[in-house]
Amino acid sequence: MRAWLVGVALLVAAGSLLSAQAAPAPVTITLGVDQEVVGLDPHIVTAFSSFRRLDLLYNKLVRYNDQLRIEPDLAESWETPDSRTYVFRLRRGVRFHSGAELTSEDVRFSLERVLDPATRSPGRSYIDAIESVETPDRYTVRIRLRHPLASLLSGLASGNLAIVEKAAVQQHGNLQRTVAGTGPFMLAEWVPDNFMRLVRNPRYFRRGLPRVDQVVFRVIPDQASLLAGVRSGALDMATINQGSVVVQAKREPGVVVLQKPGINLRIFSFNTTRPPFQNPVVRYALSFAIDREAIVQAAELGFAEVSGPIPASVRAYALPANRLPSYRRDTARARRLLAEGGYPNGFSTRIVTSPTYEGGIAVAQVIQAQLREVGVVATLEQVEWGTYIDRWVKRDFDTMVELRGGDPDPDRFLYRTFHSAGAVNNFLFKDEAVDRLLERGRVNLDPERRKPIYEELQVLLVERAPALFLYTPFETQVLRPGLRGFRVVGNGSLYYLEEAQK
């Protein structure tokens, strides 16, 4: 009897072992990034690091494809009966990660939440022309505008306009530590400053996607270590921005470098309420004091393009650098303007920066040296990433090196950033002439009539200088050769990971 029991036990154990061996390991893409997220609520966040996770957790009504053209996302189609009305037809059967079906009520709730001043959403400026959001049925959303808005679809493609589950927001209050989306992956595990594990959404509405079981984000602050991770196979992919590391990656035989011109914009910004930056003459003087091409070479090793207020890669609207005033360095003129502004001997200031790529430490060091040549002594305030974001939000800086999210439509980027009522006008900049041009540009639906408006505006912004516009960096991803199907988007979005496979 005892022998029989032992035999049964051995058979059970063997069966368990065979079962364990038969279960395939999950197919995982491990992605290295240099920054942790700063919250996960799509209607609140501003950091690129947060948006890159949200790309995989949420969807919008529409999105930009890898050619930066608008395409359907949650909306399968739309029509414009007149210049102030948009009607969106939603995909049927889309499920939130909770299992609940997405309906027009969730869309209405999401848009109205962004529009609510209490939410303090940076996306509010994208859609503040909305007068009402109507839901004729479960799968139709009608948006009525107070005036025409040329950039409405562009605004709706923003990560800040992701559609969230109404019931989840009502339960949690905000979504900074939880997820209520429809995206291709679901949040499974998060250890801050270490890793985040996302698992495949089995109900995802794009048939056959995603193609892998999980995506793991690993936070590795050092960019050289990111490349080492791809080289060794510990990482399948890494977002690498540091020019010297990109150069090294291009020389590596065992990695693939995907790169294209980006639409984000590096700027050196001023708090225009603090002395001496209340004076536009002083701000403009510093534009003559810097050498933008030298900054590109030193900070990016050439993997960027000098740019004005509209990202240089947006060829339809961006003025080339040779048509922008103060883009040829002239330290003598900088000194004359400083004297005219009341600072013949220069002045001292502080530059807030963070030791990460987005925080712009390399750019700040070059600017610091260039300003010293015209008598401006700049002290670098290096702060950790969370503190950097907090000070940006609170407008607690004299000057700051930033990386701003650009857009193919000039209104979506410029209005929210430089209009006196703009949601992310962290410069506290107010200029009636700038406001008038911004307001004219956004209501004009004819591209040929919009273009001269934005040409005039670009020159004016360079002269009034709420910020010094520096360059647009390239978007770069470094991959293992076995990772296939991923495409780079000029705005940095990672949602094509849903199509990637190993």
Can you name the residues that pair with 71 across neighbouring β-strands? 63
CATH superfamily for 265-473 is: Dipeptide-binding Protein; Domain 3 (3.10.105.10)
pTM: 0.88
Is residue 489 over pLDDT 60? yes
- Considering the chain, what percentage of its residues have pLDDT values greater than 70? 95
- Residue spans of the domains in the chain: they are 29-33+183-255+480-499, 59-166, 265-473
Which comes out higher in pLDDT, residue 17 or 99? 99
Residues in Cβ contact with 120 at an 8 Å cutoff, skipping those fewer than 6 apart: 44
Helix 243-251 and helix 223-232, axial crossing angle in degrees, nearest 10: 20
pLDDT tens per residue across span 246-283: 999 999 999 999 999 999 999 999 999 999 999 999 99
pLDDT value for 4: 38
Is residue 15 over pLDDT 50? no
CATH superfamily for 59-166 is: Dipeptide-binding Protein; Domain 1 (3.90.76.10)
pLDDT value for 202: 97
3-state class (DSSP) for residue 21 = helix
- Distance from first CA to last CA of the chain, Å, rounded? 51
- Torsion over CA of 396, 398, 401 and 405, rounded to 10 degrees? 50
Instruction: Write the single-letter amino acid at 457.
Output: L
What CATH number has the domain spanning 29-33+183-255+480-499?
A: 3.40.190.10
Q: What distance in Å separates the CA atoms of residue 350 and residue 368, rounded to the nearest whole number?
A: 9
3-state class (DSSP) for residue 201 = coil
pLDDT value for 7: 39
In terms of Cβ atoms closer than 10 Å to its own Cβ (0-12, 13-18, 19+), residue 5 is: exposed
Nearest to 210 by CA among 500, 498, 502: 498
SS3 assignment for 70-139: EEECCEEEEEEEECCEEEEEECCCCECCCCCECCHHHHHHHHHHHHCHHHCCCCHHHHCCEEEEEEEECC
Is residue 359 over pLDDT 90? no
pLDDT tens per residue across span 146-172: 999 999 999 999 999 999 999 999 999
- Considering the chain, what percentage of its residues have pLDDT values greater than 90? 93
Instruction: Write the single-letter amino acid at 297.
Output: Q
Is residue 10 over pLDDT 90? no
pLDDT tens per residue across span 433-483: 999 999 999 999 999 999 999 999 999 999 999 999 999 999 999 999 999
> What is the CB neighbour count within 10 angstroms for residue 147?
11
Average of per-residue pLDDT across 369-389? 96
Q: What distance in Å separates the CA atoms of residue 476 and residue 34, rounded to the nearest whole number?
A: 13
pLDDT value for 17: 43
Average of per-residue pLDDT across 104-130? 96
Q: What distance in Å separates the CA atoms of residue 196 and residue 344, rounded to the nearest whole number?
A: 52
Is residue 45 over pLDDT 90? yes
